[in-house]
Structure formats: C-alpha cells, structure tokens
Amino acid sequence: MVLLIRWWLLLLVFAGWRAHAAEPPSIDFARYMEGKYIFERNCIVCHGPRGDGAGEMAASLNPRPRSFREGMFKFRTTPFGALPREGDLRYTIKHGLSGTAMGMFSQLSDRDIGAVIEYVKSFSRRWRKAENYAEPMRFPDPPSWLNEAKHVEKGKTLFSAHCAVCHGPNADGKGPAAATLKNMWNFPSLPSDLRQPHLRCGDREEDVYRVLATGLNGTPMVSFDALLTPEQRWEIIAWLFSQKLPQVPTLGGAPPREAASGK
Ligand code: HEC
Ligand code: HEC
C-alpha cells in the first residue's frame, strides 16, 4: 500500500504544506486512493497510467488526450497560465468536450468526480505551488445590443484583424497559419471551426467570451484580455454567431456552467 503513495505526497504531509497555499490544495489520502480507483477504470485508456496522455487509445485520437503532468488546462475560468478551479475540472469531466474523445462522465457521482480530480492533480507539481492558483475572472452578461447590425459589421472587421490568420476569414478554422500551429506538447493545435453549433468551450455567447478572456493554456489561443475591449469582444461574438451553422439535433446541450461563480 505504502508503495502506491507518491513520494511527494509524503513530503507534503510532513512539510505541513497545506498551511501555506492560497487555495489550500488539501491532499486527502483516502480521496486520493478513491480517485486512483476511478481513474484506473475510466480514464487510463486515454490519459495513460502515468497521466501523460499516452494511453492505449491515444495514438488514434485528434486532439490527443491531455497529459496531466504539466498541469496545463484549456477550459477554465481563471486567467491565462493559471490552474483551473475545481469547478472548471468538474464541468469538463461531467459534460465532456464536444467533438473530442473526452466524453461526459455523467454517471460518476459528485464525490467520485471530486476524488478523480484529486488524483489528476497528483500528476503535476504545479498544483503544489500557491502562485499557480488564481481567483476566477469576472465575466459580464452579453449586452442588449448584441444583434444590432452595426455591431455585427464591426465584429466582422475585428475578426479579420485579430482572428482570421488562424481561424480563417469565414471562421471555418482554415486560416493561413492554421496548419503550422502546435501546442506545448508539440502536437498540432488546430484552430476550431467557430461556426459549429457546439464548441468545446460551450454553445453560448458567454462561453466564447470566457475563452477570449482566459485563453486556452498550452495552445496558440492566447488571452485577448489586454488586446480587445469587452465591447470589441462582444462585437466579434455577435458576428461569429451570425455565421453559425444550423444546429444538429442532440441529446440536449450542456447546461450553463456553475463554474463562473468560482466553485
Ligand atoms: C476516450 C478517451 C478519453 C477518456 C476515456 C477520458 N478522456 Fe479526458 N480527454 C480526452 C481528450 C482527447 C482530451 C483533450 C481534449 C482537448 O484537448 O480539446 C481530454 C482532456 C481532458 C481534460 C483537460 C481539459 C482541459 O481543460 O484542458 C481533463 C481534466 C480530462 N480529460 C479528464 C478526464 C478524466 C478525469 C477522465 C476519466 C474519468 C477522462 N478524462 C477520460 C480523452 C479522454
Ligand atoms: C495564433 C492563432 C490564433 C488566433 C490569432 C486566434 N485563435 Fe482562437 N484558437 C486557436 C487555436 C489553435 C485553437 C484551438 C486550440 C487547441 O485546442 O489546441 C483556438 C480555439 C478557439 C476557441 C475555442 C473553441 C472551442 O473549440 O471551444 C475560440 C472560441 C476561439 N479560438 C476564438 C478566437 C477568436 C474570437 C479570435 C480572435 C479574437 C481567436 N480565436 C484568435 C488559434 C488562434
């Protein structure tokens, strides 16, 4: 049993590390062991026994399953570079990432999800440093003028200037730079076709706004928090939603994220 404990877990316990962290990353050993059990039954085939994203199915998948060893997560409510909140990971695990092999694990209880998150955290040292944690960002509601023609027009111009090089002038993901982009794991990072009714980040205007604020860690999709004003971001979103392809019938999309509250 003791052999199964990661060496650093022991160190953490002895160093009383819990006392120092901003968002106390409390390591609960019983939960960690529960999480290991759940991970081995549900996640290993893609994310690999060592959490390096090299599970049996990995080679056939695009995008590849995430390596958890670098502690980098795309879909968050926290600023670019920061670790996600627990609520962000819960949302991903519960609802999956549309259009990828990362399915929804709605059969897992809240407790099971909490435990598997504890285990996922054990793969990367980033979770042990308080400076990698951050409070969630604030995201405003969409403005009432969102669908007014003049803003949609401005959004088109802004999209050409800031996004088209990667996402393509018509947002289909085929911009001139698209084929050359790689992520931090040195795998191709394909710009999303933003006309799809279901994006990984979610289906709503607010979901795209959140990505523009947070960026996607470890990918060329950086944060536009400093580059575009909130009004400019909503204008881009207004144009993007005017280009959406028709909805295909689904089992009923994901509900709004509770993660925005930071829990
Ligand atoms: C069939 C393959 C598969 C299985 C099984 C799977 N995943 Fe994934 N997972 C993926 C892929 C592929 C990605 C990367 C998606 C991307 O980069 O857009 C991913 C990404 C993730 C991410 C990163 C999300 C982010 O914000 O970057 C988390 C967290 C995650 N998976 C957790 C889990 C957990 C926990 C389990 C088990 C309960 C699990 N996954 C099972 C394929 C899988
Ligand atoms: C340098 C290239 C680049 C630029 C510029 C860029 N993006 Fe991206 N974007 C990407 C890549 C690559 C991804 C996918 C990353 C991944 O998953 O590996 C992405 C993903 C996204 C997503 C997430 C979609 C999903 O699947 O959930 C949104 C939304 C998005 N971009 C919007 C924009 C908007 C709007 C702009 C302009 C303000 C923009 N991007 C500018 C490269 C870029």
Over residues 5-61, the pLDDT tens digits come to 444 444 444 433 333 445 556 678 899 999 999 999 999 999 999 999 999 999 999
Closest residue by Cα to residue 195 from 203, 185, 187, 184: 203
AA identity, residue 207: D
Length of the chain: 263
CA–CA dist 237, 203 (Å, integer)? 12
User: Is the shortest distance between the CB of 137 and ligand 2 below 6 Å?
Assistant: no
pLDDT at 251 (0 to 100): 56
Ligand 2 midpoint to CA 205 (Å): 14
User: Is the shortest distance between the CB of 200 and ligand 1 below 6 Å?
Assistant: yes
CA–CA dist 133, 26 (Å, integer)? 13
User: Is the shortest distance between the CB of 35 and ligand 1 below 6 Å?
Assistant: no
Gyration radius of the chain's alpha carbons: 19
CA–CA dist 188, 6 (Å, integer)? 32
Ligand nearest to the CA of 254: 2
User: Is the shortest distance between the CB of 85 and ligand 1 below 6 Å?
Assistant: no
User: Is the shortest distance between the CB of 117 and ligand 2 below 6 Å?
Assistant: no
Residue 261 has pLDDT above 80, yes or no: no
User: Is the shortest distance between the CB of 43 and ligand 1 below 6 Å?
Assistant: yes
User: Is the shortest distance between the CB of 89 and ligand 1 below 6 Å?
Assistant: yes
Q: What is the mean pLDDT of the chain?
A: 89
pLDDT over 90 percentage in the chain: 81
- Atom 43 (ligand 1): residue with closest C-alpha? 102
Band of pLDDT at residue 132, cut at 50, 70 and 90: very high
pLDDT at 28 (0 to 100): 80
pLDDT 10s digits, 68-80: 999 999 999 999 9
- Atom 8 (ligand 2): residue with closest C-alpha? 221
Ligand nearest to the CA of 93: 1
pLDDT at 254 (0 to 100): 62
pLDDT at 7 (0 to 100): 42
- Provide the 10 A C-beta neighbour count for residue 202: 21
Query: Lowest mean pLDDT: which of 21-30, 108-117, 126-135, 197-206?
Result: 21-30
CA–CA dist 29, 20 (Å, integer)? 19
Ligand 1 midpoint to CA 92 (Å): 8
Ligand 2 atom with minimal separation from the 200 CA? 27
pLDDT at 25 (0 to 100): 61
pLDDT at 16 (0 to 100): 37
User: Is the shortest distance between the CB of 53 and ligand 1 below 6 Å?
Assistant: no
Residue 237 has pLDDT above 80, yes or no: yes
